[in-house]
Amino acid sequence: MYTFEEEKILIQKASKGDEESFEALITSCKSKAYSLAFRYLKNEEDAMDALQESFIRIFRHLGKFNCESRFDTWVYRIVSNICCDIMRKNKSHLEFSTTLTTQEEESYEIEPEDPEPGPEGMYLKKEEIEFLHDCMNRLSPEHREIIMLRDLQEFSYEEIAGILNCSMGTVKSRLSRARQSLKDIYINRK
């Protein structure tokens, strides 16, 4: 992670065509950007396409970046917007994905590891994950998105506000409503 000043210098160089500076900027947030795209699109190929399109858009519009927010927040916002565009074009809807790619497995865990759950424990764990998956898919797209960004991707409230282009107060209230909605769905379906 670069300091704000280091980031600003890299952005200035990259906007003048310095490919090494652009690559350094993108490398610092590529993994999390891919993970975000994958959570939206639930498909490695689509996530990579979205990432590629995002990086092209970022490169073309880098000169317009005003450095008021962090570069990675701007990148995640672009990735999020492109994923939403892709889903609209495909007329699909935002669904929660519990599938992890090999790249993500090191960074994110869905369940705490059970030393030796045995066959019955494994079956119960699988059933619980499927149940949670179903509950998440019953949320509105707005609520799924906010829970995904905060609780799965572990973005800060500030980063989410930048990604969704809203205030931190809106993020907090939307997250609170989304969690309450998920809790209600979970309890009523048990």
**Number of domain units in the chain:** 2
Domain extent at residue 122 = 112-189
pLDDT single digits (tens) 71-91: 888 999 999 989 888 888 876
Do 68 and 10 lie in a common domain? yes
Report the interhelical angle of 30-41 vs 71-89 (nearest 10°): 20
* pTM of this prediction exceeds 0.75: no
- Share the mean pLDDT of the chain: 82
Tell me the C-alpha distance between 153 and 170, whole Å: 18
**CATH code (residue 172):** 1.10.10.10
CA distances from 24 to 2, 60, 74, 139 (A): 10, 16, 15, 37
State residue 117's pLDDT score: 62
At 100-153, the pLDDT tens digits run 444 444 443 434 444 556 677 676 777 777 888 888 888 898 898 899 899 888
Q: What percent of the chain has pLDDT over 90?
A: 29
In a domain, 103, yes or no: no
| Phi–psi pair at 29, nearest 5 degrees | -130, 5
Tell me, yes or no, whether 107 lies in a domain.
no
